[in-house]
C-alpha cells in the first residue's frame, strides 16, 4: 500500500498554491493529513479542499512539526526563512521559488530529465526550477540524448500568472479600463517592488524580474544557469531573452538549438513523439501548432513549428508551450514528490 503523507502547502492562497491543491486532488496524491499555510493576513480564513473546509494558518516554524512534505510557493523570502525550519523538523521541502535553486547542495529537478539527483538531498530541500526553464529542458533533453546539444538561444513570451494573482488581476483591470476609455493604471509589472510600472494590457514588456549587472535580467540568468545545472552541462552555450505578454496562463518559447550531430526534422519529430510529457503539435498544412490559450490547464509540454535552420544543418527552431502554473510549477512539484514515492525515497 502507498505510504500516506502529512502535507503542508505554503502559499495556499496564491496562483501556484491553488494549482497545487487542484493537482494533489486530481492525481490522488496519498494524503493522510494536509494543512494550508499563508501569511498572517489570511490566517483564520476558510479554504476548500476535496469537499472539506479547512482553516488557513499563518506559516511559522512550528507549523512544520510532523509534516512529511512541504510544498512552498510563497515567495523567496518566505522560503529563505521557513524552508530550513521545515527541513529541520524532518519535512522534505519542494520549493517553487528561486531562492535555493543554484545551491550546489539543493537538487534542481525536472523528473523527466534528472530524477536521479533525488537520491541525495543534503539539506532536505529540493528546488523546482523556473517555469520557462522546465518546459524548455524537458523538450530539449530527449533531443540532446540522441544528437548532442551545443547551443540554445531562447526568447520567451511569458504569461502574467507567473507574477502571481496581483498580475492576473491587473491584466483584467487594465483591459476593462481600456475598454471603458479610462486611464490604464499600472502597479505590478514588470517588478512589483520597483517604483516604475508599465501596463501589460495591449503591451509586451521585455523585462521579467530585475536587471543583473551584465545586462541580462534575473529571469534570463535563471534560464541560463538552471538549464546548465539541470542538464549537468556547464559547457552548454545558453542565451535567453525573457518577455512578458498579455496572456493569463501559458508560457511560449521560440527556441533555436544547435546539435553536435546532423539530424533531420523527421529525426526530431520521431524523438519528441516518444518523449515523456511531450505532445507534438506540428502540422502546418492544417495550421496546427501550440498556443498558450489551448495549453491552459493541460499537463503536457506542447512542441511545434519544428524547422531545420536554412544555413546550419545542425541548427533547429522549435516553438514550445506549456501551462506555467502546471508543468512550470505545481505539476512539476507534485511529480517530484511522486518520483520520490516511486523510488522509495519518502
Residues that bind ligand A2P (CB under 6 A): 11-15, 17, 38-39, 41-42, 59, 74-75, 78, 164-166
At residue 87, what are phi and psi to the nearest 5 degrees? -65, -40
- Least Cα distance to 136 among 121, 149, 127, 119 occurs for 149
User: Rounded distance, CA 45 to CA 59, Å?
Assistant: 13
- Residue closer to ligand A2P, measured from CB, 42 or 335: 42
Q: How far is the CB of 112 from ligand A2P (least distance, A)?
A: 25
Q: Pick the catalytic residue: 33, 99, 116, 131?
A: 131
Q: Pick the catalytic residue: 33, 242, 251, 317?
A: 251
Torsion angle (degrees, nearest 10) of CA 216, 217, 221, 227: -110
Which residue matches cell numbers 520549493?
95
Q: How far is the CB of 209 from ligand A2P (least distance, A)?
A: 14
Q: Angle, to 10 degrees, between the axis of helix 131-147 and the axis of helix 265-273?
A: 120
Question: At a CB cut-off of 8 Å and minimum separation 6, what does 280 contact?
Answer: 269, 272, 273, 302, 303, 304
Q: How far is the CB of 108 from ligand A2P (least distance, A)?
A: 20
- Residue closer to ligand A2P, measured from CB, 27 or 45: 45
**Active site includes 33?**
no
- Residue closer to ligand A2P, measured from CB, 113 or 329: 329
Cβ atoms of 186 and 198 closer than 8 Å = yes
- Residue closer to ligand A2P, measured from CB, 13 or 271: 13
Q: How far is the CB of 241 from ligand A2P (least distance, A)?
A: 24
**Active site includes 242?**
no
- Active-site positions read 131, 251
Amino acid at each position: 500500500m502507498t505510504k500516506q503523507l502529512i502535507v503542508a502547502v505554503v502559499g495556499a492562497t496564491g496562483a501556484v498554491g491553488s494549482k497545487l491543491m487542484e493537482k494533489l486532488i486530481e492525481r490522488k496524491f496519498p494524503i493522510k493529513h494536509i494543512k494550508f499555510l499563508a501569511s498572517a493576513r489570511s490566517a483564520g480564513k476558510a479554504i476548500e479542499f476535496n469537499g472539506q473546509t479547512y482553516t488557513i494558518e499563518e506559516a511559522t516554524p512550528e507549523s512544520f512539526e510532523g509534516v512529511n512534505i512541504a510544498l512552498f510557493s510563497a515567495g523567496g523570502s518566505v522560503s529563505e526563512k521557513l524552508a530550513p525550519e521545515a527541513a529541520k523538523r524532518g519535512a522534505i521541502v519542494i520549493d517553487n521559488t528561486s531562492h535555493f535553486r543554484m545551491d550546489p547542495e539543493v537538487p534542481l529537478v525536472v523528473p523527466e530529465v534528472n530524477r536521479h539527483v533525488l537520491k541525495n538531498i543534503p539539506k532536505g530541500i529540493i528546488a523546482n526550477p523556473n517555469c520557462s526553464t522546465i518546459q524548455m529542458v524537458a523538450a530539449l533533453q530527449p533531443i540532446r540524448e540522441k544528437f548532442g546539444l551545443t547551443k540554445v538561444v531562447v526568447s520567451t513570451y511569458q504569461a502574467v500568472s507567473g507574477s502571481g494573482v496581483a498580475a492576473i488581476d491587473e491584466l483584467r483591470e487594465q483591459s476593462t479600463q481600456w475598454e471603458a476609455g479610462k486611464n490604464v493604471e499600472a502597479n505590478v509589472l514588470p517588478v512589483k517592488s520597483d517604483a516604475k510600472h508599465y501596463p501589460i494590457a495591449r503591451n509586451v514588456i521585455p523585462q521579467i524580474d530585475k536587471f543583473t549587472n551584465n545586462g541580462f535580467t534575473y529571469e534570463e540568468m535563471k534560464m541560463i544557469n538552471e538549464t546548465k545545472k539541470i542538464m549537468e552541462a556547464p559547457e552548454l552555450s545558453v542565451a535567453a531573452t525573457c518577455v512578458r505578454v498579455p496572456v493569463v496562463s501559458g508560457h511560449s518559447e521560440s527556441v533555436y538549438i544547435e546539435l553536435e550531430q546532423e539530424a533531420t526534422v523527421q529525426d526530431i519529430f520521431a524523438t519528441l513523439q516518444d518523449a515523456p510529457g511531450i505532445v507534438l503539435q506540428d502540422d502546418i498544412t492544417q495550421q496546427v501548432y501550440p498556443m498558450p490559450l489551448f495549453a491552459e490547464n493541460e499537463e503536457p509540454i506542447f512542441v511545434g513549428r519544428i524547422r531545420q535552420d536554412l544555413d546550419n544543418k545542425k541548427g533547429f527552431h522549435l516553438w514550445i508551450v506549456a501551462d506555467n502554473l502546471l508543468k512550470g510549477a505545481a505539476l512539476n512539484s507534485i511529480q517530484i514528490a511522486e518520483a520520490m514515492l516511486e523510488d522509495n525515497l519518502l
